[in-house]
């Protein structure tokens, strides 16, 4: 047995199950989304940020917040934060879908 660690640390260290150090499920990863939009009748671009598992959940939260605040909006962009590249990347899913937010 390794005598480098005191006994109480040795016994805990060498008998700890390795299951604790399992990999995370990629489906449980949360991303930051930035939604760019216009208020109806305004020329200024606004944005709101949401933490969500995917773009659909972020848009649902945005729709809920818009209804709650009684604002009419036109979504013009949806970006996802890439923390590894340290930049915003356009969400491809928005391009493929018709987004029908509060009208």
14 sits in which H/E element = helix 7-14
Q: What is the pLDDT of residue 21?
A: 56
Q: What is the CATH number of the domain that holds 64?
A: 3.10.20
Question: Would 76 be classed as within a structural domain?
Answer: yes
Assigned domain for 12 exists: no
Encode the chain (103 residues) as per-residue pLDDT tens digits. 556 655 555 555 555 554 555 566 767 789 999 999 998 888 999 999 999 999 999 999 999 999 999 989 999 999 999 999 999 999 866 544 444 554 4
Q: Under DSSP, is residue 61 helix (H, G, I), strand (E, B) or coil?
A: helix
User: Which tokens sit at 100?
Assistant: 């029908």
Domain membership of residue 6 (yes or no) is no
Residues 6+ apart with CB under 8 A from 8: none
In a domain, 16, yes or no: no
Range of the domain at 37: 24-96
- Inside any domain, residue 11: no
How many distinct structural domains can be found in the chain? 1
What residue spans of the chain are helical by DSSP H?
A: 7-14, 55-68, 92-96
């Amino acid at each position: 047995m390794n005598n480098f660690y005191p006994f109480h640390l040795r016994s805990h260290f060498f008998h700890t199950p390795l299951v604790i150090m399992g990999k995370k499920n990629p489906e449980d990863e949360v991303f930051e989304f930035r939604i760019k939009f216009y208020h109806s009748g305004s020329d200024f671009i606004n944005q709101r940020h949401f933490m969500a598992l995917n773009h659909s959940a972020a848009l649902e939260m945005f729709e809920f917040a818009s209804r709650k605040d009684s604002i009419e909006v036109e979504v013009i962009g949806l970006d996802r934060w890439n923390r590894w590249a340290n930049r915003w990347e356009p969400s491809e899913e928005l391009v493929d879908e018709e987004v029908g937010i509060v009208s």
